[in-house]
Amino acid sequence: MIDRRALLLAALPPAAAQGGFLPTGQALALLRAGGLNLYMRHAITDRSQIDTGRRGDRAGQRNLSAAGEAQARALGEAFRRLGLPVAEVLTSEVFRALETAGLAFGPGAVIHPNLIADDYTSGDAGADARAVSALLGRPVAGGNRVLVGHIVPMGMILGRGLSQAEFPEGAMGLFRPQASAWAFLGFVSAGQIIDA
């Protein structure tokens, strides 16, 4: 049997920086300064639900748990309390990402067609990841751009698989745009921001 995810990971160039969790103070300073692209994984989900890959079918998706709803709200409150500027929010159409964006950052998040989970894509998941990678290299003014998505595409962008512990639900990868590319600065967990 062919490992589809391994093939998709191989389609992208390896990231220059492998990253890890940034110290909280450093992460907050970077976020306050703005100009970053934040790839955020959706908040905590109900793992007892079956994820069928059917778009638009809430009953066939793994949705946010009550803990995930609380995490998303708390994350948004922490962004406001800590003065972490948000210029734009883009999201996957999968309900867990869409709801994370709304609960954390309010109405106005824009669905981006390439911010889709790999098992929901109707085309080429590698092409979707490359399109999001290009977006991570786009400059942003007036704050930070938040992209709410999923774990496998993030791993594809970085050129390696990610474990649940390495990129847990609610975590963010921080990317600095530079000359039509990006520099990966590292991860920050939802808890680091909420508890700051």
**Full DSSP string of 8-25:** HHHTSPPPS----BPPHH
Place of tokens 């790999």: 118
Residue 40 belongs to what H/E stretch? strand 37-41
Query: How do residues 8-28 score in pLDDT, each as one tens digit?
Result: 334 333 333 445 899 999 999
Count Cβ atoms within 10 A of the Cβ of residue 81 and give its class: 0-12 exposed, 13-18 middle, 19 or more buried.
exposed
CA distance 32 to 86: 10
Give the domains, in start order, of the chain with CATH numbers: 4-15+23-194 (3.40.50.1240)
Query: How do residues 19-58 score in pLDDT, each as one tens digit?
Result: 589 999 999 999 999 999 999 999 999 999 888 877 888 8
Query: How do residues 90-112 score in pLDDT, each as one tens digit?
Result: 999 999 999 999 999 999 999 99
pLDDT of residue 50: 83
Query: How do residues 107-144 score in pLDDT, each as one tens digit?
Result: 999 999 999 887 777 778 889 999 999 999 999 999 99
pLDDT of residue 5: 41
